Amino acid sequence: MGKIHQLSTLLSNQIAAGEVIERPASVVKELVENAVDAGATKVQVFLTDAGLKQVQVIDNGSGFAPDDLEIAFLRHTTSKINSREDLFRVHSLGFRGEALASIASVAKVQLKTSTGGVNTGREMTITADETPQIKLASHPQGTTITVDDLFYNTPARLKYLKSQTTELRHSADFMNRVVLSYPQVAFTLINNGHQLVNSAGNGNLQQAIAGMYGASVAQELLPIQNDDLDFKVNGFISRPAVTRASNNYISFLINGRYIKNYALTKALIQGYGTKLMVGRYPVAIIQLTMDPLLVDVNVHPTKKEVRLSKEPELTELVETTVRQALATKNLIPDALTNL
Ligand code: ADP
Ligand code: MG
């Protein structure tokens, strides 16, 4: 008799969840990205006890079609890609079809949704060990997902969660980045009744930055803009006088997705040349637009690391763009140039 057997769906989902769902902020990330992918213009996140007790995300996006509900929580079910070609041309934030299955395997989930049509309102409860129950319900167009008791059935993971203050900071950090990526969407983050993030959603990036880093920083930012055949660079960088002790105030967005890339951060800093003191970092929000074929987001389940096929060209473009924007003539305050 052989000794190999297939793992149960629940167990394999829980294993997969280990890669995507690390903490309450990962639940926030996955649900908010789904809301953005669903075309929402308003996304509200409510946390109870920093999300350890509950994460609730309400969006006004497309909603789930009643026929999709049964399979939405299975692993590898997605509406976002279909073929191998699609995989290399991803336009959405999600595509792996893992988030909902992962979350439902390590928490208690309730979904309320409607596509806005007559009789499309549904309510569904999904827990690890019961078959999902779907009922008629009334809900405006969009979706409300409520995730209770994260890791209630995986105590080893529960143990690794940090204090509420730390967990909340992770969610707030994510929400701040998403505000910068999608200034056209109104986001709120509320924990135990306290509001931490509230963006206007009017499409004005500089206003979104002011909301995040304060008006005095936003005023000191220089717009940057450049492009070559493959890439478009847009955004804001701080004048050399405005610096921070950490590189946490540097955000790169590729086609709207916040990513971490050491080479890009280095190019930005090199663009400042000797204008930055050692150990000081600028504030920068840089949006890069390119053909999705030039960026592989399928490197890591959380998609934060990406592989760029023309990285040297891109880093060079970023460095030159920054250097030009900082050229002395551009640094003279408006008041003087107007004399
Ligand atoms: P992925 O985002 O990778 O496709 P998920 O497990 O996060 O996988 O979601 C599965 C599917 O459920 C999505 O492809 C989408 O069709 C649907 N979905 C998830 N969240 C929402 C939402 N907030 N509004 C509408 N549809 C959603
Ligand atoms: Mg998703």
pLDDT in tens, 197-225: 999 999 999 899 988 888 889 999 999 99
Q: What CATH number did the domain enclosing 19 receive?
A: 3.30.565.10
148 burial type by CB count under 10 A (0-12 exposed, 13-18 middle, 19+ buried): middle
Is 45 a pocket residue for ligand 1 (Cβ < 6 Å)? no
pLDDT of 139 strictly over 90: yes
Is 65 a pocket residue for ligand 1 (Cβ < 6 Å)? no
Q: Which of 55, 66, 42, 186 is nearest to 121 (CA)?
A: 66
Residue type, 101: A
How many domains does the chain fold into? 2
- Same domain (yes/no): 214, 326: yes
Token duo for residue 23 = 């903490």
- Same domain (yes/no): 217, 174: no
69 burial type by CB count under 10 A (0-12 exposed, 13-18 middle, 19+ buried): middle
Mean pLDDT of the chain: 91
The whole-angstrom separation of Cα 102 and Cα 15 is 8
Mean pLDDT value across residues 61-65 = 97
Is 32 a pocket residue for ligand 1 (Cβ < 6 Å)? no
Of ligand 1's listed atoms, the one at least distance from the Cα of 81 is 4
- Same domain (yes/no): 175, 293: no
Query: Which amino acid residue places its CA nearest to atom 12 of ligand 1?
Result: 72
Q: Which of 182, 179, 181, 163 is nearest to 23 (CA)?
A: 163
Is 206 a pocket residue for ligand 1 (Cβ < 6 Å)? no
Is 43 a pocket residue for ligand 1 (Cβ < 6 Å)? no
198, 221, 251 — which closes off a domain? 198
Mean pLDDT value across residues 294-323 = 89
Is 96 a pocket residue for ligand 1 (Cβ < 6 Å)? yes
The whole-angstrom separation of Cα 337 and Cα 234 is 23
Token duo for residue 81 = 């890609």
Ligand (nearest to CA of 113): 1
Q: What is the pLDDT of residue 339?
A: 45
- Same domain (yes/no): 219, 192: no
Largest interatomic CA distance in the chain: 90
Q: What is the pLDDT of residue 211?
A: 86
- Same domain (yes/no): 191, 317: no
Higher pLDDT, 20 or 303: 20
Is 258 a pocket residue for ligand 1 (Cβ < 6 Å)? no
Of ligand 1's listed atoms, the one at least distance from the Cα of 98 is 6
> Best of 78, 112, 298 to mutate for ligand 1, by most ligand atoms within 8 A of CB?
78
Give a yes or no: residue 115 inside a domain: yes
139, 173, 198 — which closes off a domain? 198
Give a yes or no: residue 338 inside a domain: no
Give a yes or no: residue 128 inside a domain: yes
- Same domain (yes/no): 103, 214: no
ipTM, 2 decimals? Answer: 0.99
Query: Which amino acid residue places its CA nearest to atom 25 of ligand 1?
Result: 63
- How many angstroms does the Cα of residue 285 sit away from the middle of ligand 1? 28
Q: Residue 30: pLDDT band by 50, 70, 90 thresholds?
A: very high
Give residue 8's region: left, alpha or beta (phi > 0; psi -120 to 50).
Answer: beta
- Same domain (yes/no): 287, 166: no
- Same domain (yes/no): 191, 229: no
150, 170, 198 — which closes off a domain? 198
Q: What is the pLDDT of residues 271-289, one digit of tens each?
A: 999 999 989 999 999 999 9
How far does Cα 60 stand from its chain's mean position? 17
- How many angstroms does the Cα of residue 255 sit away from the middle of ligand 1? 19
Q: Residue 334: pLDDT band by 50, 70, 90 thresholds?
A: low
Q: What is the pLDDT of residue 286?
A: 96
Is 100 a pocket residue for ligand 1 (Cβ < 6 Å)? yes
- Same domain (yes/no): 170, 213: no
Is 50 a pocket residue for ligand 1 (Cβ < 6 Å)? no
Residue type, 149: D
- How many angstroms does the Cα of residue 147 sit away from the middle of ligand 2? 15
- Same domain (yes/no): 273, 295: yes
Lowest mean per-residue pLDDT among 45-54, 70-79, 105-114, 241-250: 70-79
Mean pLDDT value across residues 102-115 = 96
- How many angstroms does the Cα of residue 111 sit away from the middle of ligand 1? 12
135 burial type by CB count under 10 A (0-12 exposed, 13-18 middle, 19+ buried): exposed
Give a yes or no: residue 292 inside a domain: yes
Structural domain range at position 229: 205-330
Beta-strand runs (E) in 219-319: 221-227, 231-238, 243-244, 250-254, 257-259, 281-282, 284-290, 295-296, 307-308
Is 94 a pocket residue for ligand 1 (Cβ < 6 Å)? yes
CB neighbourhood size of 275 (10 A) = 17
Residue type, 222: L
**Which single residue is written with the structure tokens 């999705």?**
292
Token duo for residue 57 = 């995300």
- The pTM score is 0.90
- Same domain (yes/no): 246, 141: no
pLDDT of 337 strictly over 50: no
- Same domain (yes/no): 174, 51: yes
Mean pLDDT value across residues 74-93 = 84
Give a yes or no: residue 3 inside a domain: no
Looking at the DSSP bridge assignments, the partners of residue 235 are 224, 286
Token duo for residue 63 = 């909603």
Give a yes or no: residue 336 inside a domain: no
Give the Å distances, CA to CA, from 24 to 63, 95, 225. 23, 21, 36
pLDDT of 262 strictly over 90: yes
Cβ atoms of 256 and 303 within 8 Å: the answer is: no
User: What angle do helix axes 262-272 and 311-325 make, rounded to 10 degrees?
Assistant: 30
Q: What CATH number did the domain enclosing 286 receive?
A: 3.30.230.10
